[in-house]
């Protein structure tokens, strides 16, 4: 196998799903035997983590006044280090590294687009995505389609590669410890969000839904928010007020995402803009955690009504209406395979209800029903009835094959649907 010399560039200072993916790609490519390096702002979160991981680091200076000098400096560095491939990930580094790559002539230039945005200035966007790079990678097909439609990029030059999931790290067999950490009873169902604290992630909608559940639910429910970001101060002030005080816990930045997902009964992602295919949804699906999400961006590509899990329209999607309350979904892991069922609704014969295996097992199903309705109301939409049956590894492999999962049938010890994820 040829060893490629690969440079990833990222001008973002923060730490979120995009930066997590860039670092994961660097580590994966290095593990495959390739030479890798990262160009980023010296003060960025990804620069710190890359240095800790022993990845070669190039300091990126993206100030516009320095752009001509920085382009020449980077082009010389690309030539001196015989770079074969450059993958740019954000706007500023896309321009700087893109122009440097064209000046150096030799490198293959790839531009990644992680989030869905509008293109108000199509001339400059066309230069950035159509003329500078040789190829564009997106995290969802919706983003790829918009690039082709709005910027005229030939479809053959755009590829959608959803972010892969480590099925060893995100295993449904993990036992969560968040209840114990927070000092709450195991009978309390946990509903949570895991995301960067940005306005468009929909934390305000989540808190509105939490307020309604706290008011109306007859069963014990707790709420957690994991993540950090520019919205932390506003969010901290809000949850210190009633009715969220002592009912919603802000966990801050956490590295133990599998532990949090294993502790949650329902993950909520009420985003109203910019999403590609959120990694947290794929990770939750891998861990058999129920999900309620909006229809923004690439979310419908992995959250399909009647096939996977329920979703709600975005906040402007429909006029407010009373949501259906017939949705009950159970997800379990048993003997190496997923088992998801649509349980009887409240209108069904009580004698036909399956054995739930205890109070703790019943809670998530009821709470998911309530959360779906409340979030749908908060989003201004109508929740739809959802039924889902996936029984056995073979069916699971068929259902998740498009997500790039590699699945192992534990009973047989062989891989199924195993074409993996190419990131």
Query: Quick count: other Cβ atoms within 10 Å of Cβ 106?
Result: 10
Reported as a single tens digit per residue, the pLDDT across 38-68 is 999 999 999 999 999 999 999 998 888 889 9
Count of domains for the chain = 2
Task: In whole angstroms, give the CA distance from residue 131 to residue 152.
Answer: 11
Q: Which residues pair with 38 in a beta bridge?
A: 8, 57
Task: In whole angstroms, give the CA distance from residue 233 to residue 277.
Answer: 27
User: CA gyration radius for the chain?
Assistant: 23
Q: Are residues 355 and 407 in the same domain?
A: yes
Reported as a single tens digit per residue, the pLDDT across 138-171 is 998 989 999 999 999 999 999 998 888 888 899 9
Q: Are residues 188 and 122 in the same domain?
A: no
**Quick one: pLDDT at residue 262?**
94
DSSP line for 38-86: EEE-TTSHHHHHHHHTT-EEEE----GGGHHHHHHHHHHHHHHTT--EE
- Pairing between β-strand 135-138 and β-strand 337-342 as defined by DSSP bridges: unpaired
Q: Are residues 47 and 135 in the same domain?
A: yes
**Quick one: pLDDT at residue 187?**
87
Is residue 58 in some structural domain? yes
Q: Are residues 151 and 192 in the same domain?
A: no
Q: Are residues 254 and 120 in the same domain?
A: no
Is residue 168 in some structural domain? no
Q: Are residues 148 and 204 in the same domain?
A: no
**Quick one: pLDDT at residue 305?**
63
Q: Are residues 145 and 198 in the same domain?
A: no
Q: Which residues pair with 189 in a beta bridge?
A: 221
For residue 184, CA distances in Å to 177, 249, 250 come to: 11, 12, 15
Question: What residues contact 342, with CB distance under 8 A and at least 6 apart?
Answer: 328, 329, 386, 387, 388, 389
Is residue 385 in some structural domain? yes
Q: Are residues 153 and 258 in the same domain?
A: no
Q: Are residues 221 and 81 in the same domain?
A: no
Q: Which of 98, 128, 160 is the last residue of a domain?
A: 160
Is residue 276 in some structural domain? yes
Q: Are residues 95 and 182 in the same domain?
A: no
DSSP line for 307-321: TS--EE--TTSS---
Q: What is the pTM of this model?
A: 0.66
Q: Which of 93, 127, 160 is the last residue of a domain?
A: 160
CB burial of 36-54 (b: ≥16 within 10 Å; e: otherwise) equals bbbbbbeebbbbebbeeee
CATH code of the domain covering residue 222: 3.40.50.2000
Task: In whole angstroms, give the CA distance from residue 133 to residue 88.
Answer: 9
Q: Are residues 58 and 194 in the same domain?
A: no
Is residue 303 in some structural domain? yes
Is residue 388 in some structural domain? yes
Domain residues for the domain of 267 are 178-416
Is residue 423 in some structural domain? no
For residue 32, CA distances in Å to 198, 256, 345, 418, 420 come to: 34, 25, 49, 18, 15
Residues present in the chain in total: 423
Q: Are residues 80 and 185 in the same domain?
A: no
Residues of the chain under the 70 pLDDT cut: 1, 305-423
Question: How far is the first Cα of the chain from the last one, in angstroms, to the nearest whole number?
Answer: 17
Is residue 234 in some structural domain? yes
Q: Which of 115, 130, 160 is the last residue of a domain?
A: 160
């Amino acid at each position: 196998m040829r060893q490629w010399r690969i440079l990833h560039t990222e001008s973002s200072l923060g730490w979120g799903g995009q930066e997590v993916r860039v670092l994961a790609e660097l580590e994966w490519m290095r593990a495959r035997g390739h030479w890798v390096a990262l160009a980023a702002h010296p003060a960025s979160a990804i620069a710190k983590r890359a240095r800790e991981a022993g990845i070669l680091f190039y300091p990126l200076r993206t100030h516009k006044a320095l752009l001509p000098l920085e382009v020449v400096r980077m082009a010389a560095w690309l030539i001196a280090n015989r770079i074969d491939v450059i993958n740019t990930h954000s706007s500023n580094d896309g321009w700087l590294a893109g122009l440097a790559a064209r000046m150096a002539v030799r490198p293959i230039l790839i531009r990644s687009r992680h989030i869905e945005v509008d293109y108000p200035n199509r001339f400059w966007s066309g230069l950035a995505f159509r003329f500078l790079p040789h190829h564009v990678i997106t995290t969802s097909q919706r983003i790829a389609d918009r690039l082709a439609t709005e910027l005229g990029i030939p479809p053959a030059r755009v590829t959608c590669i959803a972010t892969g999931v480590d099925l060893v790290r995100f295993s449904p067999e993990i036992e969560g410890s968040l209840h114990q950490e927070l000092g709450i009873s195991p009978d309390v169902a946990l509903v949570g969000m895991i995301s960067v604290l940005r306005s468009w992630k929909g934390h305000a909608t989540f808190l509105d839904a939490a307020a309604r559940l706290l008011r109306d639910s007859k069963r014990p429910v707790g709420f957690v928010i994991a993540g950090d970001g520019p919205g932390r101060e506003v969010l901290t002030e809000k949850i210190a007020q009633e009715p969220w005080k002592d009912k919603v816990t802000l966990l801050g930045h956490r590295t133990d995402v599998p532990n949090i997902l294993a502790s949650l009964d329902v993950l909520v992602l009420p985003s109203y803009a910019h999403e590609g295919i959120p990694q947290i949804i794929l990770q939750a699906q891998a861990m058999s955690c129920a999900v309620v999400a909006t229809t923004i961006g690439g979310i419908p590509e992995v959250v399909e009504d009647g096939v996977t899990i329920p979703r709600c329209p975005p906040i402007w999607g429909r006029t407010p209406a009373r949501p259906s309350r017939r949705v009950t979904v159970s997800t379990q892991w048993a003997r190496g395979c997923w088992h998801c069922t649509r349980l009887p609704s409240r209108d069904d014969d009580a004698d036909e209800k399956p054995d739930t295996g205890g109070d703790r097992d019943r809670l998530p199903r009821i709470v998911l029903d309530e959360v779906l309705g409340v979030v749908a109301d908060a989003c201004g939409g109508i929740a739809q009835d959802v039924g889902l049956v996936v029984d056995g590894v073979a069916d699971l492999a068929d259902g998740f094959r498009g997500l790039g999962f590699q699945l192992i049938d534990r009973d047989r010890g062989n891989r199924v649907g195993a074409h993996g994820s190419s990131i």
